[in-house]
Copies of this chain bind each other. A is one copy, B any other.
Amino acid sequence: MELFLGIEGGGTNTRAVLAQADGQILGVGWGGPSNALFVGREAASKAIKQAISQALAQKRERLKCKVIAACIPGVNKELLQLTLKPLMEWEHLILCSDTLSALQAGLGPEGVGVVVSSGTGSFAIARNKKGDIAVVGGWGPLLGDEGSGYYIGLLGLKAIIHAADGIGPPTCLTRAIIERLGLTNPLELRRVAYSGVLDRKSIAELSQVVMVMAKEGDKAALSIIKKAAWWLVVMARAVVRKAGLENEIPVVFVGGVARERVIVEIFKRYLDKLLPGAVYTPPLFPIELGSLLLAYKEGGISLKESTLHQVKTTYSSILKSI
């Protein structure tokens, strides 16, 4: 049986999924963040290795994959080959954008509509009936990533600074974030902010604190979540225009941030308001399977109903067994 491997990397973690051509998933693995632009080549390579090793765990022999598809921002083919060589062999290795794997998993191989992704970073991608693809966002933490976990975490930090300076209202975020960072006082942020402690990932993780405080009704936290949801819908609207989509447009919302009901509800409300043609839709596949689906596509495997079913059921049973 031919083997296929999908690798998804990003600012938060790395996932690898090994599967047969019939949709039977054989192994799943996790690693740390692998966007080499932000964590460096070495850490990225280590995270990818760890994820793959775990996915291959039960295979004793040296495997050969028909197709490996990797969607890891900031990683080039040369680094990928160096990383994979000690672990396995392959016939085809393709490097794709993480926007494309999100589209693949969110709407299926040929689906028309929009996928909005908000994890550590953020972007929106759309496909129209002709198969044309448009992307908005994905500019990284300095220039873009509005509505992302990083954006939410950073606004959380700014909210407690503004409270300390008397520019913004007092907020429960102060105590919650200061405690999460192991500090005793907001003024200590001045020291840690530029010492490397507050890297992209750890700022994005603070978004969880902001979500919790928003759920508990903190006004500053809720206002941040609203801003983030607004940006994500504005990105969806911009990508809809770019792709020339019209009427009853499926909009899928994915990524770590989209796991929180508090932002999903606000996202839906803005969607109704700003993009009346939108139909909020769950992703067709677990979003971390996007690269595997791209590997199938590259290998000429048509995703029949039975294959899709096999992918979904074996993936969920593997997750349960871990």
Q: Which residues of chain A have a CB within 8 Å of any CB of chain B? A: 37-38, 74, 136-140, 142-144, 154, 157-158, 161, 165-167, 189-190, 193-194, 198, 234-235, 238, 241-242
Contact = CB atoms under 8 A, between A and B. Distances in A.
Contact of A158 (B37, B143, B241): B143
A193 B140 CA distance: 8
Contacts of A193: 139-140, 142-143
Interface of A (DSSP majority class):
helix
B38 A241 contact: no
Contacts of A38: 194
Given A37-B194, A235-B165, A157 B137 contact: no
Nearest to A195: B37
A37 B139 CA distance: 25
Given A144-B158, A241-B166, A242-B166, A139 B190 contact: yes
Contacts of A235: 165, 167
A189 B136 contact: no
A163 to B, nearest CB: 11
* Copies of this chain per assembly: 2
A74 B190 CA distance: 11
B136 A166 contact: yes
B142 A165 contact: no
A193 B141 CA distance: 9
Contacts of A161: 139, 143-144
A165 B37 contact: no
A242 B166 CA distance: 8
6 contacts: A140-B190, A140-B194, A142-B193, A143-B161, A143-B193, A165-B235
A137 B158 CA distance: 11
- The residue among A137, A158, A167 with the most chain B CB atoms within 10 A of its own CB is A167
A13 to B, nearest CB: 20
A317 B286 CA distance: 72
A137 B190 CA distance: 10
Contacts of A165: 136-137, 235, 238
Nearest to A237: B167
A196 to B, nearest CB: 11
Given A143-B161, A194-B142, A166 B37 contact: no
A251 B165 CA distance: 18
A317 B157 CA distance: 46
Contacts of A238: 165-167
B136 A157 contact: no
Contacts of A194: 37-38, 74, 140, 142
A90 to B, nearest CB: 28
Nearest to A134: B166
Contacts of A144: 158, 161
Nearest to A187: B139
A154 B193 CA distance: 18
Contacts of A140: 190, 193-194
